[in-house]
Each structure stands twice: as C-alpha cells, then as structure tokens.
Structure 1
Amino acid sequence: MFNFGIEHEVAFLNSEGKFVDFSRAKFADFNQIIEQLPIYPNDHLQLRIGDAGIRKKRWYIEGFERFTDSEKIVDCTPKGIEIRTTIHSSIQSTIDELTESFYLLCKISGQFGFSPVLISFNPCKTVFEPEPPLNDYEIKQIQQAHPEEQTANIYMVTYGPDLNLSMAGLSNESLIDIGKKLTYYSPYIVPFSYSSPFYQDSLWEGLSVRTFVRTGKRAAAMVFVEKPEQMIKSTPSLTKIARLPAEVGRIEFKAFDSCDDFSIYAGLLALLKGLILDESLSGRAIIPDAEKHQLSAQQGFDNQDIYAIASQVLQAAEVALGDDPDVNLLAPLKVMLEKRETKAHQLIRDFNKLGSIEQVLKNTYSALA
C-alpha cells in the first residue's frame, strides 16, 4: 500500500577537525570516497543517475555543477555526500538500508581522514558564491531551470533530508491535496527535527537557521506527477514532473532538518504516513507560510501555537494509523513534544559547555556509534 525512501545529506570534519564545505574541499576529495563504495546493478531503475553521471550509486557528491559554454560538465563544487535509499515497502527496512549505507560511508570516509557530523546549516559560511563566477551559459541555464534549481545560494549552505512516500491508488488530485496538506502543517512538524542552531561560527538566536533561511524560497513538500498538464503553477513549486517511472506519485517532504538518530526519521515517516491517511485535518496551502516557519525556527515547541497544533497533528496521525504497527514509531516524537525538546537544544547545551562548534559536532551521530 505504501512505499518509502530517504535521502540523507552528510557533512564532514577533516583530519584536522575542521568543518568541510565548498571552501575547503574539492570534488576529488569526496570522489575518492565514492569510488570505494559499492554499486548495485538494479538501482538505476529506482534511483535517478542524472545527466552528469555523478549519481551512479546510493552515495553521491552533493554540490554545484559547473559547465563550460556548452552542456559539458567540467567540475562540481562539493558540499557533502548524500545517501539515498532504494524504494521499500516498510519504514523499518528503509531505515535499515540507510543505516547500513551510513556505516559503509563512515568506514570508507575514515580511511581518507573524514568523519561524518550532523549539521543542517553551514556553521561557518552563510553565502555560496560560485568561483569562478558563472559564465553566460550557466546563467542562462539557471534562469531556465526549475525554481528549486535557482536557489544554489541556499542549498549549498543547508543540509537536510528528503523523506519520500507513495500510496497506491491515489488520484492526481488526491496527491496534490496531500502536498498542500503537508505544506500547511510543515511549520508545526519540522521542530521534531531541528538541528541547526549555529550561524557564523557561533550560536544563532533560535533552533533552526535552515528553516528560517529556506522558507518561502524552497518547497516544504513536492509531488511528482506524470504529465505537464497535471502540474500546478507556484513558486516555490508544489509539483514536479517525474524523471523516472518509479517517481510517479511520489510525495517528497523536504522541510525537515537532518537527524543523527535514524529512529527519528522512522518516526517522521510514520507521522507523514499518518497524515496521508488522516481525514480530520483541514489545513491546506500551496506555498509554505514563511512567517510561521520563521517563528517556528526561532521558538520551536516553546511557542504555544506551534506546540498546540503539533500536538493536534501528532494525535491525528496516531488515530489514523490505528492498529498499524508503525504507530509505535511515533514514540520518540511524543517524548520530544512532551519535553518541548529538540536536538538543537542538546547542541546548544553542548556548545555552552565545550565552547567549540567542531567539538560539539564530534559528538553527533552518537546514537549510531
């Protein structure tokens, strides 16, 4: 009935303990890691390779592709490595594959002096400026691109997952309605993932710089449709043409911060599944509410409105799941809501104790150690 997948972006510290981003790494630094990771022969049926050929594996270099004055790619400015799972019929098997792929990445990256760390917004740089500057061909390509691809200045400093779901038998109208529903309730559920309290080498005044910066410019949810006439026009986009048959009908939630405890991803997938099944929540929006997201980014569950509607949404998802075993995956989200506590709170406490962002980052992914 349901299918699931996850795309999870990983950032790194280098052997000197410094945060690695586009200013410190070259494509070859990360490509040597990718080359040592396995390739699975049938993945191309589910996972898009792309024109540049960078996405041949379950792991690929996430970055900004550079071109000459033609379609020929000449470089890719890296920001990290993305792990993507194949399509699974259960949440747990999705998490199991993600975990296995993450451990493989840790093993190989460690051989080259890189260690994965959790971050959802670049703690040092606030802006990405292509170097050398864009040529005329690149400028033209960006102007003609999908709106999501016109915001490199945002995605090159942010890190976050795409949580993918599809449900058999949904009409195109139902798919788009679910996309609108997830877009509306996004500011109330994203605090479950907050993990970006750092900005310009220090603490930010809230819990998620990523949410504060990206909202209004990038989508909260995306629905993949088969035909151009099924698209609805909006900026940021709510709909996108599927690039593979396996993508048709996919609902992609894009607004969460990254998590270093994959049981939280399991809980968030169960929450989204419950929201798809739910028939009681009436909120709908074509584009994300920037003001509500920014309020959420600063205050999280400490804001009474955010807390109240998050509670309502979580309860609605639980009721909709009923006796489905996946309802048990909501447990860590319930604890977070009860305590009004996010991962960002722990990162802030660690920073106040250690006084160094890099030292704080070294302690992340401890749940997977």
Structure 2
Amino acid sequence: MQFDRDRFRFGIEAEYLLADKATFRPLWHNDVTFAELHNLMEAIPFDDLPSMDGLELEPPHRKLMPYVVEGYHVPNPDFSPIDILPKGVEIRTPVCSSIGECLECLKTLHDRLEAALSGSGYTLVSLSHHPTEHHFEGPQNKRRYDFWQWAMEVMTTCGPDINVSLPRELNDPIDVADLHRKVNYYSPALAALSLASPIYRGKLWKIRGTVGKSIRTYRRSVIAPAIELHPEENGRMEFKLFEATNRLEDYHAFFLLWLTLLLDEGLKGRSRDQSRIYDLGAVARFGLEAETVRERAGEVFAQAPVVLNRHGFDAGPLNIMKKRLETGRLPADDIIDYFDETGSLEDVLKTRTGLIHGTELAQDSSVNAAALSRSRQSMTGI
C-alpha cells in the first residue's frame, strides 16, 4: 500500500557554536550574553516562511521565533529561568510538509542568522563539542538532581534533533516499547556515520593512547536519550544522536535513516538501554570499526530502499552515508587529518562554517520540482 507522503511532517533543531568572525576563536558564555544574542535574533525577519505553529516560547525569550539562545538557564528561587548563559544558538525550522522544504527553511534561517551575527563580529560553527571548554558548573536550575547534572553536562555539547511526524495510520500502530528497543540496537550504528567531534581542550581527543572520533557522543551516551516521543505534538518523534554538520545532504540522509527505523518492520535487532550506552561508548572511540556496527548499519541500508520507496521517498540521498560505510571514513577523520596537517584549531573551525547546499537536495522526491521552485522563489537568502 502506498501512503501519501504529503501527510508526513518534518523539522530540524540545529545547534551551533559561536566563534569570533575575524580570529575564529571559539566563544562561550563568558564572551557573549543572552540579551545581546536575543536582541540580534528578534530583528531577523521570518514572516515569509511557513507558520511557527508548533514551536514553543522558551523563557526568558520574549518572542516566538525560529531562533533561540542555547545554554544554561539561570533560575530564580522557584526555578523559573531569568537568564541564559550561552553555549551557542539554535535554529528551529517550522513544521514542514516535505524534507526539501525543511532543508530550504534551514538554509534560509541559517543564512539570515549568520548575516545578523556577522554584524556583531560572530560566526556560526557546526561542531558537536566545544573545542576548548570542557567543564561547567552552575547553580541548581532543576528540581530534579539528575536533570540539573545533565543541564551542566550539555553546556559543552551541540547537535541536531531530527523530527518526524507520521500519518496517523502509520503512527497509531507503533509499539513504543518495541520502537525503543529497535532504536537501542540500530541507533549507535547510525550515529557512527555522523561522528565529527574529535577535538577536546584544544587538541585531538585521545583515550587510552588512541585518537577518538567523538568526545560528544562519548560524554552524552550515559545520560542522554536516543529519541524523544511527543504524542501531544501531533506525534512528533525526535532522533537525537546525530552529530553537527554543515552539509544539507547530511541532514537529508538523517531524515531518511530515521524514517527507515520508524517505518520498517523487517529490522529484527533489539536491545536494552544498557547495550545502547555501551555501544555508543565504543562507537565514540572507534567509529565504524566498533564491534558489529558495520553489520547493523548494513541491515538498515539493505531495508531502506524498499521501505522508503513504498512511502514515496527516494533513497538516493543515502548514498553519502553508504559511501562512509563502505570506506569507513567519517567526517571526524577529515577533521583529524586537517588538524594534524595544519596544527590550527582556527583553520579547523573555518571548515565547519557555512551551510553547504549539496547536490542531493535536488534529488528529493518528497517534494516535486515545481513545489521546490516555488519554495526557493518565496525564500530569500538561498
């Protein structure tokens, strides 16, 4: 049975670090303030984009918009946030009816934010762990102790959340407990394909004498969930393990991999949370060479064309990830080699700026050529 792909919904929440535009020195909460960043964001127009319905106003932000300051919420005595110590910024796309529209929105929002920040001497950097800062402590800002500990831990990490809502006839039959077990089994292998944070405290991250692929995945694997489900928000399902990227074709592939996990009934692997945590620790160190990771990713790629085509999506944009699986070479390896070659953190950060409009975007079969053309004409900054 062919389902109507137009009833799927898509969204991206993409976090970015900030750097000095002139020197590419990485910035943190002691360099920028919430008030400064929020004022810059409030002035950015977005009325020509799809509706912001579905996004939430997060205090102390004053205006509902597709931009938020990411960081540590400073509380008043009743734990209401009154300020934010910035770790970076986040772009939240509107809820979109196709992958193509979502990627176009992200590109538009990114370029407008970059232009606004540039005027104040800042630039956006797609890197999943702060390259020089490694520790943060702040006043308790959550009633639950574990939530407070996590709020401090993520002050050095960034990453995208990939959001999908399915048509009701596909969403309603999902066994939530079984979905979590399936994600536990396959998600470390999918996360491995995106690893891109081998820089820690200004140097390559080494553990037991070997350079690792991702300090971000290593640090967040113990506490952070792989997915979050939001049934109260039209069934929004959020995948949280991919790493930051400045390539739109990566985002396209992230959507297709998450859709494959959600829609495919032929993937039989299942495991517990403890196994996922263990596997992510190994993946963070060894990437695709971690035990059984290639096999698990291979299962997903074998199923993807069938399940995606059945629901009207082109599996072609997964080729970039298939190549990584075949060669074993990850974005982290490019960063490691470039850092070894130049010895310059600033030069590495320069390679992680911008948002590259890859060729795979034009191949998105979930939005037809006419609709994509209209979308581009209605959005500036592409």
TM-score range, shorter chain: 0.7 to 0.9
Q: CA deviation at 1:102?
A: 0.7
Query: 1:113-147: per-residue Cα shift (whole Å, max 9, x none)?
Result: 111112101111111112xxx2xxxx3x51338x6
1:197–1:209: 8 Å Cα contact kept in structure 2?
Answer: yes
Question: Which residue of structure 1 lines up, in the alignment, with residue 27 of structure 2?
Answer: 20
- Residues 260-275 of structure 1: pairs in structure 2 closer than 5 A: 260-275=246-261
Question: Which residue of structure 2 lines up, in the alignment, with residue 232 of structure 1?
Answer: none
2:260–2:300: 8 Å Cα contact kept in structure 1?
Answer: no
Amino acid at match of 2:345: I
Q: CA deviation at 1:216?
A: 2.1
Q: CA deviation at 1:16?
A: 3.5
Structure 2 Cα separation of the partners of residues 31 and 51 of structure 1? 11
Higher relative contact order (CA 8 A, sep 6+): 2
Amino acid at match of 1:62: E
2:110–2:355: 8 Å Cα contact kept in structure 1?
Answer: no
Deviates more, 1:316-325 or 1:33-42: 33-42
Question: Which residue of structure 2 lines up, in the alignment, with residue 155 of structure 1?
Answer: 154
Query: 1:244-269: per-residue Cα shift (whole Å, max 9, x none)?
Result: xxx24111001111111011110110
Q: CA deviation at 1:75?
A: 1.6
Amino acid at match of 1:178: L
Question: Which residue of structure 1 lines up, in the alignment, with residue 82 of structure 2?
Answer: 74
Question: Which residue of structure 2 lines up, in the alignment, with residue 102 of structure 1?
Answer: 110
Unaligned runs of 5+ in 2: 1-6, 206-210, 358-382
Q: CA deviation at 1:51?
A: 4.1
2:72–2:152: 8 Å Cα contact kept in structure 1?
Answer: no
Amino acid at match of 1:53: H
Aligned pair partner of 1:128 in 130, 136, 143: 136
TM-aligned CA distance change 1:149 to 1:37, over 3 Å? farther
Q: CA deviation at 1:325?
A: 3.8
Question: Which residue of structure 2 lines up, in the alignment, with residue 166 of structure 1?
Answer: 165
Q: CA deviation at 1:312?
A: 1.4
| SS of residue paired to 2:131 | coil
Structure 2 Cα separation of the partners of residues 28 and 297 of structure 1? 35
Query: 1:209-267: per-residue Cα shift (whole Å, max 9, x none)?
Result: 11111012010111113xxxxxxxxxxxxxxxx4xxxx241110011111110111101
Percent of paired sites with the same residue: 28
Structure 2 Cα separation of the partners of residues 367 and 340 of structure 1? 24
Deviates more, 1:17-26 or 1:79-88: 17-26
Structure 2 Cα separation of the partners of residues 331 and 266 of structure 1? 11
Deviates more, 1:29-38 or 1:76-85: 29-38
TM-aligned CA distance change 1:55 to 1:223, over 3 Å? farther
Question: Which residue of structure 2 lines up, in the alignment, with residue 337 of structure 1?
Answer: 325
Question: Which residue of structure 2 lines up, in the alignment, with residue 36 of structure 1?
Answer: 43
Aligned residues: 340
Structure 1 Cα separation of the partners of residues 320 and 331 of structure 2? 12
Question: Which residue of structure 2 lines up, in the alignment, with residue 291 of structure 1?
Answer: 278
| SS of residue paired to 2:163 | strand
Question: Which residue of structure 2 lines up, in the alignment, with residue 61 of structure 1?
Answer: 69
Q: CA deviation at 1:196?
A: 0.4
Structure 2 Cα separation of the partners of residues 182 and 366 of structure 1? 31
Amino acid at match of 1:321: L
- Residues 106-255 of structure 1: pairs in structure 2 closer than 5 A: 106-130=114-138, 134=139, 139=140, 142-144=142-144, 150-169=149-168, 170-171=171-172, 173-204=174-205, 205-225=211-231, 242=232, 247-255=233-241
Structure 2 Cα separation of the partners of residues 177 and 37 of structure 1? 42
Q: CA deviation at 1:89?
A: 1.9
Question: Which residue of structure 2 lines up, in the alignment, with residue 5 of structure 1?
Answer: 11
1:164–1:250: 8 Å Cα contact kept in structure 2?
Answer: yes
| SS of residue paired to 1:20 | coil
TM norm structure 1? 0.85
TM-aligned CA distance change 1:44 to 1:52, over 3 Å? farther
1:275–1:316: 8 Å Cα contact kept in structure 2?
Answer: no
Structure 1 Cα separation of the partners of residues 59 and 129 of structure 2? 27
Structure 2 Cα separation of the partners of residues 343 and 282 of structure 1? 29
Query: 1:291-315: per-residue Cα shift (whole Å, max 9, x none)?
Result: 1101111111133521121111122
Query: 1:24-79: per-residue Cα shift (whole Å, max 9, x none)?
Result: 22223422421321254984521111343356210110111112224554321001
Q: CA deviation at 1:159?
A: 0.4
1:175–1:249: 8 Å Cα contact kept in structure 2?
Answer: no
Question: Which residue of structure 1 lines up, in the alignment, with residue 297 of structure 2?
Answer: 310
CA RMSD of aligned residues (A): 2.2
Amino acid at match of 2:224: R
- Residues 79-94 of structure 1: pairs in structure 2 closer than 5 A: 79-94=87-102
Deviates more, 1:54-63 or 1:264-273: 54-63
Structure 2 Cα separation of the partners of residues 273 and 21 of structure 1? 34
1:176–1:223: 8 Å Cα contact kept in structure 2?
Answer: no
